[in-house]
Structure 1
Amino acid sequence: MNYIGKILPVDGYFVELKNDLPTEYNLSLTHLYQPLIGIHAISLFQTLLNERMFTANTPQTHHTLMNYLNLPLDEVYRSRIKLEAIGLLKTYVSQSSQATIYTYQLQSPFSPAGFFNDAMLTQLLYHHIGEEKFSLLEKHFSKKKDRQTDVEVTATFNEVFQTFTPTMEGAPANQSLEEEAQQMTQLDFSWMENMLRQRMIPINRVLTKENRRLIMQMMNLYDLASFEVEKSVLWALSEDNILNQDEFKSACHDLFKTKNNQQSVRLTEKQNRKKTMRDRPLTKEEQLIYELETISPKQLLEDLSNGKQASEQDMKVIREVMTSQGLPAPVMNVLIHYVLLQSNMKLSKAYIETIASHWSRANLQTAKDAMEFAKKEKERYQGKQKSNKNNSYRNKSTEVIPDWFKDRNKKKSTEAEDIEDVDKQKEQEEIEALLRQYSVSNEK
């Protein structure tokens, strides 16, 4: 990905340290974090840590960091967002007509013991360094649990990294690791609660605060659908309905390997990061594509139903189609939108399955691809109908056609053109109406 121009050499920066560093923070950085984010990111963290004394009153320029690290500016920026995504840095920016000043707030890394208490980081480290080295580090480090007006522009984990080369996209971006616990109360676990309730399993015993956090982490880490997480949870429950976390993590990993052809989990940078506010689309169609790329199918259904909860039957249809045909979430969103518009807002299972199989063979991966493909197919179908109609006229009797009939055909041709114009206008109105629904939903 091109990082050139994200920051300028003349942009200034201050450095802050939010909390005291653990005594063994250097061990954590070199042995635990460095395998995940690389030596350049760790060097940037340590350089910023020692830069605090020089930025107490006067900001330094990013040209200084380029000289200290012996790196081009785009590599400095790349290292910065890795630190942000892994939870070691928060970035704030203050812009004026005179200058742009960044404040880099260093976050305390986990102590070695604390690192091994974080399920997501330990799973990532395991896949990066292998079982033998991981076991050595885990055994060595204690597993005891450690208990302004500036705008934050910190990159999130899912914006920067992916854990594999995906065959399906559309996992929602999560918050930074530090904010993750604060977002747990807002995470919708209703689907899991319904599943447990139907099986007469005590919800509070399974969905503890710690287990909710673990479920969310594994869901993001392995890009699992809700039904796959349900299967893993049921597999890992004991007779007393206690979730065995190790068995749950193993089950999630096995599901990941099965659906990704035994592919290993690796922390890699995303080639297409989620757009920032400055990169947001301008035209109404681009806005619609952006919404369809970032929203979940469940949220789309609810937005199209004026905020009403999506029915279990509709969600079952969508889940079965997505899993059987392997459609990415953005493509599924376009398919839902298309089918609802074509069938008077009814989600016909047979109709959606027919189109889904066609789109799956076309290997559509993005909302934009799906929208363009749907338009071309519709135009091709209309052109074929028109061609068949013309052929039928040519194959009929060669008798002399009276003038009044010719005039009638001309009138029909004009009417067809008028209908085509009306269709285009209707399509634009549908786009605008859908965008208004998104706006109302987001304001709520």
Structure 2
Amino acid sequence: MELEQNYMIYKTGDFQEKWNAYISLLYKPLIENDACMLYDLFLSLDQTSITLEKLLLLYGSYANRFDASKKKLENYELIKTYYDPISRKNIIEVYPPLNAESFLNHDTFSRLFLNQCGSSHFDFVKLHFNDEVDKTNYVDISEKMDLSCLESWTQEKEETYLNLKPEEGKLKYDFDFETFLKGADRIFPMRYRTKENLSRIASLASIHGIDAVDMRKYVQRSINPNTHVFDFEKLKKQVYANQKIIKPTDDPYKMSPVKFLQNKQKGAPVANADRKVIEKLIKNYSFSNEVMNVLIEYCLNQTQQKFSKAYVEKVAASWIRLQVDSKEKALEVCRQENQVKKPAPKLPDWYQNTEQSVPDDDLVQQALSLQRQLGKEKNDEI
């Protein structure tokens, strides 16, 4: 290993907020401390050109130890190394770790983790990263904020407030807020129009294909007239119950993901579990509707029309690492994947030729004569 070799290091992909926890609790038992330290060093050297000699100095170890740790990071797809034999330069791409759910569903990583740590620790880590706590039989006894002081809130005050808000606070959704809020002062008063509420409403509408008129109806039904509390879970139930079929447009990928999947199912209702998978991926990976729809179509085609949660999330995680952030990139990835598969062997032309020619009379007589002669010789032997 030549110490004068040059390395260009840069990170790629979306590093989620909990990436450090994923490395410490999921990857570290498998790649060990040295590889984790090298991974941190690579992240610190993002967009840096550096010699191997300088890398070893920063890493604080020998070349063989560095090489062993680098190979572990490559094995677990945390880095990729590219080498140009002409310029003798290296490029190291540093990738984010898989999130807990993708890691524990990974065909190889999860088995290695279970083998290394045991079932007890596997369950501990699974529960530690579980965002969906089972609240069955629990009653929400949290104190609700008294919003009666905003009963006198007017449209004039709302306009003043919106003008004073920082620009980043304004919502950017492909949802018809004008129709949704028009004349809705009594249906959906100003005090409920927080950024969080409006964001969640618009997101639900976009994913499930709910128009502004229906959404206003559902929102009205989700406000308790006695407690004046906006119940978002009740709103989700009504949205999930909406099975209205929407016909595809000229570009079906522009449809809402749930309606896109419903059309793939010939109009059959989309299961709530499938809706939750779609919601989770769009939330965690910030997929656009178009990318999500290409992902749905690809997964259905690859699994004989099954929508397996584990498989869909596995493909989604790989698309994040490939930086798929548009419909065009998603379709290109699908095209490349299909090209990799070996085509069925082509049969020769003669195999397809089923035409039969009529035998010549002389040839038939010769065959019959030969057949009689062979039969006579067989009888003589007996």
**TM-score, structure 1 normalization:** 0.31
- Report the structure number with the largest CA radius of gyration: 2
